[in-house]
Structure formats: C-alpha cells, structure tokens
Amino acid sequence: MRSLRATPPILVLFVLVALLVVITIITREISGHADFLVERQIVLLVWLAGLLIAGVVFAWFVRRAMRRDASRSRLLLMVLTVLLLASPLSLSLLQHPAP
C-alpha cells in the first residue's frame, strides 16, 4: 500500500488512460447489442463517469506526491506529467488558433 501511494502521477496517468480505453471498449461491446438510441447515451454516460473518477484518482495521487519530499528528479517527472496532460489541448490549439 505504501509503494502504491508513492507511485509517480505519470504512471498513474498511463494506467488511467489505459483503463478508460478498456472501459470504453467493453461498454461499446456490451451496448452494441442494444438499440443505438440507448447505446449512444450509455456509452457517453459511462465514459464521462469514468473520466470523472479518473480525474479524482489522479488528483489524489498528485496530492500524495506533492506532500512527499520534492527531489529534483521527482519535480522533473511532475513537469513531464504536466506536459503530457496538456498535450491534447495544446495540439488542438496549435492546429486551430482562436480567431
């Protein structure tokens, strides 16, 4: 448990993204047998709920990590996490600059 709490946020981020993808695939497979009218709403709800839970879990790990002694390498890892997390939005902004 102690080692889990010490997991760097960047690793948590990778695990959460993988989990979200798996949840989406499973939901799509299960709801694929339902009518599309039902399916599309289920998929969206599960995805948004997953996104929210992933956000809370990630925030908890970040908080834990920040409370620990901040070594240089740990800080660098954190900065890398920031860059990774912000990259989808940054790429979109670069492609589509605001008018």
Partner 1 sequence: MDMLLSRAVAALLTLSGLLTLGYIGISSYIAEELVYEAPKAIVKTPASLGLAFANVSFPSRNDHINLKGWFIPGVLPDGRLTADRVIVTIHGTRTNREDPGAHLLELTAALARNGFGVLSFDMRGMGESPAAPLSMGNLEQRDVLGAVDFLRSGRLPLPELGRPRMIGGLGVSMGAASLLMAAAGEPGIQAVVSDSAYAEIVPILEREIAKRSVAPIGRIPGVLAPSALVMAQLLYGVDFFAARPVATVARIAPRPLLLIHGTADDYVPITNFYALNTAATSVPGEHVTTWIVPNARHAQAFKKTGTEYVTRVVAFFDAALGAAA
Interface residues with partner 1 (CB under 8 A) are 9, 24, 28, 35-37, 40-41, 43-44, 47-48, 51-52, 55, 58-59, 62, 66, 70, 75, 78-79, 81-82, 85-86, 88-89, 92-93, 95-96, 98-99
Phi, psi of 55 (to 5 degrees): -65, -45
For partner 1, which is the closer residue by CB, 3 or 99?
A: 99
Q: Which of 49, 28, 47 is nearest to 39 (CA)?
A: 28
Residue 12 and residue 58 in contact, taking contact as beta carbons nearer than 8 Å: yes
Q: How far is the CB of 77 from partner 1 (least distance, A)?
A: 10
Which tokens is 50 given?
């997953």
